[in-house]
Amino acid sequence: MNATQLAELARNGSAESTGELVSALTDLFCRAPDDERERVSLVFGDIVLRVLDRLECAARSALSQRIAEDDEAPKDLLKALAADQDLEVAAPVLEQCRGLSDQDFAEVAEEVPASHLLVLSRRKAIKPVLTRVLAQRGEPQVLHALTRNQSAVIGVDSFDLLVARARKDVELQEALSERPDIPESAAERLVPFLSREMAQRIKDLNVNEVLVKAIAERAAREVEIQLREFNGAKSKTEQLIDAAVAGSVPIDTAVGAFADKDRAFELGQLLARTVGWPDNVVVPLVFREDDMPILFLCRLSGVTDAAYMKIVRMRAKRMRLSSTASSEAMRKYAELSEEAARNAFKAMAQKMKLPAKI
C-alpha cells in the first residue's frame, strides 16, 4: 500500500478504513529493516495511538496479537493495549510482552479490572513492584494465583498484605504455606490463622522450614506462658477472681487486670465463676470468632462498656482484628440490653444443658 492509499484511508475516518490503515501501518512496522525500525516505531506508535479509540475490538485484538512479543514495539502503544478494558485485547500484551517493565505493568495494574490482574499474576518472574499492586488490589482468585506462582518475587511488605488477607481464606493460607521464601515475620503472623489440622500437616510434610519453625516457636511460647502463669501468681489470681465474684472487688477491676495482661484463661475463669458454668466451656469463648456468647456473658456479669473495651483490645491483638471489627464489637455491646443477654444466656444454657440461675 502506497502513501496515497494510506492518506486516503486516514481521510476517510470510518471505523473500517481506520482498521485498514492500522493494519497497513502494522505491516510497515513489522517489515521495516533493522536500521529503520526505531524511526518507524515512533511514527507507527504516534499515529496508531491517535486512532486507537476508533478501532473496533477485533481490530485492537489483532493489533495486540501482532506486536505483543515485538521488543521494539512502541511502549506507549503497548501500555494502552495492556490497559484496554476488553481482556481479548489486553491479554496478549499482559501474557507475552517483554517490551514493558514490571513498573509499567504495575502502573497498568492500578486501573484494570480483576480479570486482567489474574493474567498478570501468572506472568513469569514478576518483580516486587508488580506483586505489591496485585497483593493490594487483587481479589481472592488473584491472590491465590500470585502466591502459587513460585517464580514471582514477593517483597516483605507484600507478604504482610497477603498474610493479613489470609485470616479467613484457607486456600490462601495453603498457598502461603507452600512459599519457601516467606519471611520469618510473615510466617509468625500467619501461624495464628492456621487450623490445627493445617499446622499439623505443615509439620508432617516439613517442606517449609521457616513456617515449621514459626509453628514450633509459637507452641513453645504458649507452653512457657502457661507454665509461668501456673507457677507464678496463681494464688493472687485466684484471690482476685474470688474477690470479684464475691463483690468485694469491682468486676471491672479484675476484667481490666486480665485483659490488659492478655490473660485470656483467667478472664474466662472469672466469667465462668460469675455465671456458674465450667471453665472449659467459657474459656474457649474468649477468642471465639463469634463474639455474641462473650458479649452476653460480660453483660450479665456486670462488665461496663469501658471494661469491655479492654476485652475487645485483647481480642483484636490476639486475633488481628481490624479497627472496624473492634468498633462493631463495641457497638453491639453498647446496644445489648441485660434482658436480651439473659434470654440468650438461658437459650444457650438449655441447649448445652448447663445451669441458668443468674
pLDDT above 70: residue 348: yes
H or E element in which residue 206 lies: none
Grid-cell match 499482559, residue found: 94
Q: Could you state, in order of their start, the residue ranges of all structural domains in the chain?
A: 1-97, 101-231, 233-352
CA-to-CA separations, 8 to 3, 31, 56, 220, 308, in angstroms, rounded: 9, 22, 19, 79, 78
Q: Which amino acid is at 124?
A: K
Q: Compute the distance between CA of residue 133 and CA of residue 117 in angstroms, rounded to an integer.
A: 9
Query: Each residue of 218-240: pLDDT tens digit?
Result: 877 776 665 565 555 456 888 88
117 contact partners, CB below 8 Å, separation of at least 6: 109, 134, 137, 138, 139, 142
Residue 244 cell numbers, joined: 470479684
pLDDT above 50: residue 4: no
Query: Each residue of 11-53: pLDDT tens digit?
Result: 555 566 677 888 888 888 889 898 888 888 888 888 899 889 8
Residue 298 cell numbers, joined: 460480660
Mean residue pLDDT of the chain comes to 89
